[in-house]
Amino acid sequence: MLPSSPHPFLLTGLLALLPLAASAQTNAVPDRQVGTWLIGTVVLPGGPKHWGGYAEVQTRANGLGRQFFYTELKGGVSYDVAKNFTLMLAGGRYSTADYRDLSAGPLNVEGRLWQQLTLTQLTSRLKLEHRYRMEERWFRFRDDVVPAGQRRYRTRLRYRFNTLLPLNHPTFTDHTAFLTVYDEVFFNPRGPFFERNRLFAGLGYQFDKHLTVQAGWLNQANYTPASYRQNVFTPQTTVAKNNVALSVIYRLSRKISSTTPEFVPSQPD
């Protein structure tokens, strides 16, 4: 039988980093402008044969509903090993542009592949999610950023601790309002090690077994901005940006079996 939580030593070490991340963010230099994240996701739950998947489109703006500069297109295949244990293989295309000159094309385009393990602890009401991800990333830059035809490769490790609390029902069912809070830390194996922290708090509503919406505040702090021209990572003053995050999750119909996990409307990214 699979354990209900990750390896205790690994989990203890990772959770110990969260207060440090939060403390570092309070000392970060804030971006005075509030950004916008818009996320649309379609989820195929794991059925009787345990296979599922998802597809997602995401766009981000430097301002509140304006100055859009970033897009993501991604998808993946999942496998439910047990009710509280899911594996995923996924990939996507990530494009970053200068919002002041979108006609010039993207500054860089990233192709990404990742492997993911998600462990969910289901109490009588509170849902706890531990997500571990390893990413392989390939960058292609515009010719005036690096020499023409040049590409860059990097890896990254991520851990997210997510909590979801239904407010008007003990479990997630039709017409359920819920609170969700998560913190995610990003690590660069090449160093400097601690690269990014992402903190989110929001309110969601599950209309039925298909449609869920979420809205909240998202703070992202970057600790090691990349110098693309030199292809090096140099520690600089931490910069943190507040964002309004809006997401819509649509869950496709699927035959449910006794081994199908309880649906928890966690945002895939």
Model confidence pLDDT, tens digit, residues 73-84: 999 999 999 888
Q: Which of these ranges, 46-50, 62-66, 174-178, has the smallest mean pLDDT?
A: 46-50
pLDDT category at 244 given cuts 50, 70, 90 is: very high
**Residue 92, pLDDT above cutoff 70:** yes
Model confidence pLDDT, tens digit, residues 139-186: 888 766 666 556 688 899 999 999 999 999 988 899 999 999 999 999
* Region 244-249 average pLDDT: 97
CA distance readout (Å), 229 to 88, 142, 169, 218, 233: 33, 11, 53, 29, 11
173: tokens are 């069912």
Model confidence pLDDT, tens digit, residues 101-143: 888 888 889 999 999 999 999 887 899 999 999 999 998 887 6
Q: Which long-range contacts (CB under 8 A, 24 or more apart) does 178-183 make?
A: 178/203, 178/204, 178/205, 178/206, 178/265, 179/203, 179/204, 180/204, 180/214, 180/216, 180/266, 180/267, 182/129, 183/18, 183/21, 183/22
Closest CA to 246 of 207, 202, 210, 206: 202
Report phi then psi at 19, rounded to 5. Answer: -60, -35
Q: How far apart are CA 247 and CA 231, in angstroms?
A: 33
pLDDT at position 149: 55
pLDDT at position 250: 97
